[in-house]
């Protein structure tokens, strides 16, 4: 049965009153995706957010009513049945990075029903039907620790995240505007043929971009002088740590290096001690720190012994006081993960020092 006109009017009116909440949600989800997923793992990607306009929401309901594809008997059914009021898109330069993004989304966010986020792959490539839509969809809520202050009224409100390659993003957007939004019978034969040609080009483009970035990384490995950005940081240090996935959590190691004015590989190695020659020893140190974090209720800060966290621990083990001082001088308005790690590492070293002094005192007394 079609959607009653009064339901459409009331739903649009309600959305007009509540849209500010969705704007706030989309902005915060995009911010977390940028800092906790893309920057933290040195992923080349663009993060964008959007919230449905009142006009587009009304148009969507009118299309549903006209086509009969969906039926809503009440306003509450409308809001239960439409999940993309707030949306975030993560467009990676390389398709190969989407798996890491998927893992990180499941780590950072929560499922609307509680528990872990469930990915919903939407790859629908069909050459004969000129279909080239490629994306992974996620329905997410903010984690409990985010639901404080201004974000407290977002509890239970969900946001759609779409993950795709940059080239797939181009096709998805164009096809959506041409084939989905217009009224009528949709694209004709010529349009479908051109969409198919564009789809093939985007698939080829993915492969070309991957090769381009591989060539860029080879060039960066030979570069000298100061680090340009986190990607340069990873490229120039990767060869020294073949046993690590250096791009994972590289954002924190790079931030700490910047705080310590470690602007090139030589300075990083000098400040980090013997990490290049004895990664196993630093990993053992990392596990000791993880045990401390677990015991003192900060398990959310635990580190990954196969990632750039090994370098982070090597730097903090010798420079945590300097890092904390640099963070205080910077006076960031929002605490960073690097700040939390530096604070906890100083406490960890202090407890170690106290234990060592006690042991030495007992030995001397004996």
Q: What is the rounded CA–CA span in Å between residue 112 and residue 158? A: 6
Q: What is the pLDDT of residue 358?
A: 67
| Edge-to-edge strands, sheet with 159-165 | 45-51, 86-92, 159-165, 136-140, 120-121
Q: What is the pLDDT of residue 47?
A: 97
pLDDT in tens, 3-49: 889 999 999 999 999 999 999 999 999 999 999 999 999 999 999 99
Q: What is the pLDDT of residue 332?
A: 58
With tokens 């059914």, the residue in question is 77
362 exposure class (CB count in 10 Å sphere: 0-12, 13-18, 19+)? exposed
List the beta bridge partners of residue 121: 136
Classify 329 as helix, strand or coil: helix
Domains of the chain as residue ranges with CATH: 5-209 (3.30.460.10), 230-365 (no CATH)
Q: What is the rounded CA–CA span in Å between residue 143 and residue 159? A: 12
> Distance of alpha carbon 38 from its chain centroid, rounded?
5
Residues 6 or more apart from 174 whose CB is under 8 A from it?
195, 198
Kindly give the parts of the chain with pLDDT less than 50: none
Q: What is the pLDDT of residue 366?
A: 53
Q: What is the rounded CA–CA span in Å between residue 348 and residue 77? A: 52
Q: What is the pLDDT of residue 187?
A: 77
């Amino acid at each position: 049965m079609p959607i009653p006109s009064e339901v459409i009017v009331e739903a649009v009116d309600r959305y007009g009153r509540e849209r500010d909440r969705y704007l706030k949600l989309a902005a915060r989800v995009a911010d977390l995706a940028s800092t906790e997923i893309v920057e933290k793992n040195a992923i080349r990607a663009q993060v964008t957010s959007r919230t449905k306009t009142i006009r587009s929401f009304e148009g969507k309901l009118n299309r549903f009513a006209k086509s009969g594809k969906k039926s809503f008997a009440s306003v509450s059914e409308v809001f239960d049945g439409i999940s993309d009021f707030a949306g975030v898109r993560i467009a990676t330069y390389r398709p190969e990075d989407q798996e890491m993004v998927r893992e990180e989304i499941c780590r950072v966010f929560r499922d609307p029903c509680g528990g872990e986020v469930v990915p919903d792959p939407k790859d629908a490539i069909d050459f004969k039907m000129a279909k080239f839509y490629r994306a992974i969809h996620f329905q997410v809520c903010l984690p409990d620790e985010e639901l404080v202050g201004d974000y407290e009224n977002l509890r239970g409100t969900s946001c759609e995240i779409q993950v795709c390659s940059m080239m797939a993003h181009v096709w998805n957007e164009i096809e959506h505007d041409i084939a989905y939004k217009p009224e009528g019978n949709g694209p004709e034969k010529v349009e479908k043929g051109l969409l198919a040609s564009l789809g093939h080009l985007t698939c080829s483009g993915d492969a070309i971009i991957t090769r381009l970035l591989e060539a860029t990384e080879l060039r960066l490995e030979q570069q000298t002088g100061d680090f340009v950005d986190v990607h340069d940081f990873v490229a120039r240090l990767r060869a020294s740590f073949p046993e690590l996935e250096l791009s994972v959590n590289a954002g924190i190691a790079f931030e700490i290096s910047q705080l310590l004015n470690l602007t090139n590989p030589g300075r990083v190695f000098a400040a980090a001690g013997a990490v290049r020659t004895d990664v196993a020893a630093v990993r053992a140190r990392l596990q000791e720190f993880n045990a401390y974090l677990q015991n003192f209720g900060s398990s959310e800060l635990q580190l990954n012994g196969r990632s750039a966290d090994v370098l982070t621990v090597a730097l903090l083990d010798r420079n945590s006081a300097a890092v904390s001082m640099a963070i205080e001088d910077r006076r960031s308005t929002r605490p960073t993960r690097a700040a939390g790690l530096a604070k906890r590492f100083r406490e960890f070293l202090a407890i170690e020092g106290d234990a060592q002094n006690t042991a030495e005192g007992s030995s001397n007394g004996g």
